[in-house]
Amino acid sequence: MSKSVSICVIGSGYVGLVAAVCFAEMGHRVICVDNDDAKVKTLREGGVPIFEEHLPQLLAKHRDRGVEFTANLASAVERSEAIFIAVGTPQGETGAADMSYVEAVVSEIARHVNSYKVIVEKSTVPVYTNEWVSRVLHRHGVDPTSFDVVSNPEFLREGTAVLDFMHPDRIVIGSNTDRSAAVLRRIYEPLTSGSYYDQPGALAGTCSAVRPARILFTSAQSAEIIKHASNAFLALKISFINAVANLAEAVDADIEDIAKGMGMDSRIGPRFLRAGLGYGGSCFPKDVAAFQWVAQQKGVNFKLLQEISSINEAQRDIFFNKVLSALWTLRGKRLAALGLAFKGETDDVRDSPAIEVIKRLLDAGVIIKAYDPAAMERAKEVLQPSIKMQYAADVYEAATDADAVLILTDWSEFAEIDLVQLKQVVRFPIVIDGRNLYKPQKMQDHGFTYVSVGRPSNYHAQQGKPRGMVS
């Protein structure tokens, strides 16, 4: 096993915190820097600010051993050989990524380069960011021989980010010098050689000592495009299957059967062929827009990216209209909203389709009682407090006396609801499922009106009970 590398990770969000802890798990010495003193204090005390499987255990294992947390960027840079930038690149008004946080960090790094440093783009950035990082360092008088800039894009899925990091489909290193490539090779050697997977207590996953992680070396520009192109293509698969779902629904076909038939083709594969409310989160919407902006700036006609976004946005309108169609009128209706995160197994509500649907329903005069296994506190930060917006302790409390139940996030917990108990507590047995978690026949057998995505709706004959009465 190669010698450990001293690593600085700047930023303790989803990418930075996972990277810092996973690098420590790989045997490196890591300093994680954040300018939020409160967050640094929380992390030093063992708190975990995000909901992510395996992260609390690894943080407890390596805190104050393999990884330390600080707000002192200067000291962290001076003590590190590799500096990973994992700060936010939010979408600007034009669709371009806002690179001001990256520039500010690079300017600060420039003041403390005391030996050769490899500066690594871990944030999702547009092509040629590596050149701009180099220019900023040059403008601050940093000797060009004392640094290299590398692109090492992350391919993490929220909810499975730790396993994605330790058992990656691929590790992409965009380096324009052999010297910097050698440093990154050393950093990832525990995964690419397979030595990590033989260690006692190693996280189990798809990689192993005999099937280690694969690594790809490219130019920095190619690596930057790989990240944006990968996310845009996955977003394309989601939007494509949603467009097909709308056609399937119009002709009484079943999108679940269609997706299964498509996914059996090895050239297509089944992943991301799930019809529903569309994609959300911190990556796909921002990255598709940023990729489109880059293409426009270079004079490349890439209209397909606009269509991806348009179809995705339309899915929320389509679902809202499903609710309206099932209930006739909305004002004063009581609805149970199951799910607030943009997808299951995370507490992230950024650009969540669930939140957007709920906002539209509230504007229409609906009373919402919501439940999410992890995201309710974060949702309270983005949904205006109101007597019409309530929160429940579990699925059945949310559904009590509801005129309909909406499934908005694909939590595994929601796929295992006790339908007998659910029918007992609702006012009307109506389920409008934006994630296709149930088989229509099963819902019909339990006496539910069931409306889903890309499948024929089942309007079951219902007998309601007067408002306020719960059986």
Phi, psi of 464, deg, nearest 5: -90, 175
User: Which one of the listed residues 8, 32, 207, 283 is annotated catalytic?
Assistant: 283
Helix (H) or strand (E) segment spanning residue 337? strand 334-338
Distance between CA atoms of residues 260 and 299, nearest Å: 38
159: left (phi over 0), alpha (psi -120 to 50) or beta: left
Transcribe 182-239 into DSSP letters: HHHHHHHHHHHSSTGGGSTTPPPSS--SSSPPPEEEE-HHHHHHHHHHHHHHHHHHHH
Please, where are the H alpha helices in 366-456?
376-382, 395-399, 419-425, 440-445
CB atoms near residue 98 (< 10 Å): 16
Q: E strands along 71-162, which residues?
A: 82-85, 117-121, 147-151
449: left (phi over 0), alpha (psi -120 to 50) or beta: beta
Task: Return the structure tokens found at 137.
Answer: 């360092």
**Three-state DSSP class for residue 314:** helix
Distance between CA atoms of residues 70 and 68, nearest Å: 7
Single out the residue of 102, 72, 64, 98 nearest to residue 8, CA to CA: 72
Q: Please compute Rg for the chain using Cα positions.
A: 24
**Three-state DSSP class for residue 407:** strand
Distance between CA atoms of residues 60 and 64, nearest Å: 9
**For this structure, is 283 an active site residue?**
yes
Distance between CA atoms of residues 121 and 234, nearest Å: 22
Residues assigned a catalytic role = 283
